[in-house]
Amino acid sequence: MQVINWILRVVGLVFLIMFQVLVLNRLNVSEYVHPYVYPMFIILLPFDTPRWMLLVVAYLIGFTIDMFNNTPGMHAAACVFIAYFRPQLIKFYTPITGYESVTSPSISELGVIWFTMFTATTILLHHAVYFLIQLFSINDLGFLMIRIGLSTVVSTLLIVILAFLFAKRKVRAK
């Protein structure tokens, strides 16, 4: 069961990276909206994932995206940042009843509101780090603030929609 679970996760990761690199990066919505959905993989990792694994996995995923975008280090830095603060976030968003038997963030077990809040905060941290690194090149903090805000909203929406799609498919398989 554990093994199948991880195989599904890896397949999901490949899909997310492809979707990011081959679809989202080629959309030109607006200069303020640059959505990144691939951090969804880090969001969905089990609650008991060891910290070293979180950090290493996050770094490798960020580095992969960097390889396709020619943005060395930028996505890696943002991913490592959210991986480090993930345990604190999980603690902060503990439901009143605790996590009980829930092993990883899921929309079906923890509810849409919990999932959206957790995703939005993680994505906000990721986008803040990522777009603030662009200050090296774009010397306009106000512009980048708007870019962070609007991109966070769009990325969060996309991830919640994707989570719904994946959740439904699981139910059908049963």
Partner 1 sequence: MRSFFLFIIRHYAIFMFLFLELLSFYFIVTHNSYQQTYFINTANTLSGNVLNSYGNFQEYFSLREVNDSLMHENAMLREQLLLSQIADTVNHTVSDSTGKPLYSYIPAEVIGNTFTEANNYITLNKGSSDGIQVNMGVITSGGIVGRVVKVSPNFSVVMSVLHTQFVSRVAVKRSNAQGRLTWDGKRPTHIDVIQVSEPGTIKKGDSIITTKVSPMFPPDIMVGTLESIGKDPGSNYYTLDVKLSTNFSSLKYVYVVNEIMSKERNDLENQIQDAGN
Please select the residue that binds partner 1; options are 1, 3, 4, 28, rule is CB under 8 A: 28
Task: Determine which residue in the list 12, 19, 71, 114 makes contact with partner 1, applying CB under 8 A.
Answer: 71
Q: What is the chain written as a DSSP string?
A: -HHHHHHHHHHHHHHHHHIIIIIGGG---BTTB----TTHHHHHS-TT--HHHHHHHHHHHHHHHHHHHT-TTHHHHHHHHHHHHHHHHHHHT--TT--TT--S--HHHHHHHHHHHHHHHHHHHHHHHHHHHGGGT---HHHHHHHHHHHHHHHHHHHHHHHHHHHHHHHHH-
Residue 33: strand pairing partners: 30
| Binding-site string for partner 1 from residue 95 to residue 134, where x marks contact by CB under 8 A and - marks none | --------------------------------------xx
Neighbour count for residue 2 (Cβ, 10 Å): 7
Q: Which of 19, 99, 143, 164 binds partner 1 (CB under 8 A)?
A: 143
Task: For residue 73, state whether it binds partner 1 (rule: CB under 8 A).
Answer: yes
Q: Which of residues 86 and 163 has its CB atom nearest to partner 1 in the complex?
A: 86
CB of 130 to partner 1, least distance (A): 10
- Cβ at position 6, least distance to partner 1 in Å: 22
Q: Which stretch binds partner 1 (CB under 8 A): 3-11, 18-26, 88-96, 113-121?
A: 18-26
Contact status: 14 vs partner 1 (CB under 8 A): no
Q: Please identify, among the stretches 27-35, 41-49, 93-101, 107-115, the one whose residues bind partner 1 according to the rule CB under 8 A.
A: 27-35
Exposed/middle/buried for 122, CB within 10 Å: 0-12, 13-18, 19+? buried
Residues that bind partner 1 (CB under 8 A): 22, 25-26, 28, 31, 34, 51-52, 55, 59, 62, 66-74, 76-77, 80-81, 83-84, 133-134, 136-138, 140, 143
